[in-house]
């Protein structure tokens, strides 16, 4: 697999390939490319690049159908940063989004005081 290059890549360009990966070997190879990308393009340490890659893969998988997301989480040994490996109902997703928004608002309000 060739290295990923270009700091101006969109999340879609960077992460859509995960949906087509079918083996652990391919997943490890792509994850290694993502880690190298975050280290090279953004100056992340190896540990931070691993964390960012796994978080982004876990998050992005949530945009796919449940079966695809679960396959991605398994192949990449990751999970969604909010919901883990469970598939939320629409109500659960809305409540989680509102809670995160409230938490961030409180955090920003504390910073401005």
Please indicate, yes or no, whether residues 36 and 75 belong to a single structural domain of this protein: yes
Statement to judge: residues 8 and 47 lie in one domain: yes
Asked whether residue 75 falls in the same domain as residue 92, the answer is no
**27 and 64 belong to one structural domain:** yes
Range of the domain at 10: 1-81
| Mean pLDDT computed over 52-62 | 97
The strand pairing partners of 84, in sequence order, are 80
pTM, two decimals, is 0.85
pLDDT digits (tens, 9 = 90+) for 92-106: 999 999 999 999 999
74 and 92 belong to one structural domain: no
CA 87 to chain centre: 15
Q: How many domains does the chain have?
A: 2
End-to-end CA distance of the chain: 49
56 and 104 belong to one structural domain: no
Do 71 and 93 have their domain in common?
no
**Mean pLDDT value across residues 21-27:** 97
Looking at the structure, tell me whether residues 76 and 103 fall in a common domain: no
């Amino acid at each position: 697999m060739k290295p990923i290059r270009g700091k101006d890549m969109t999340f879609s360009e960077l992460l859509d390939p995960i949906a087509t990966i079918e083996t652990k070997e391919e997943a490890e190879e792509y994850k290694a490319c993502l880690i190298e990308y975050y280290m090279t393009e953004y100056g992340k340490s190896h540990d931070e690049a691993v964390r960012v890659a796994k978080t982004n893969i876990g998050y992005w998988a949530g945009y796919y159908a449940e079966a695809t997301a679960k396959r991605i989480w398994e192949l990449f040994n990751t999970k969604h940063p909010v919901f883990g490996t469970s598939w939320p109902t629409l109500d659960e997703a809305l409540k989680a989004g509102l809670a995160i928004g409230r938490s961030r608002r409180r955090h920003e309000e504390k910073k401005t005081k």
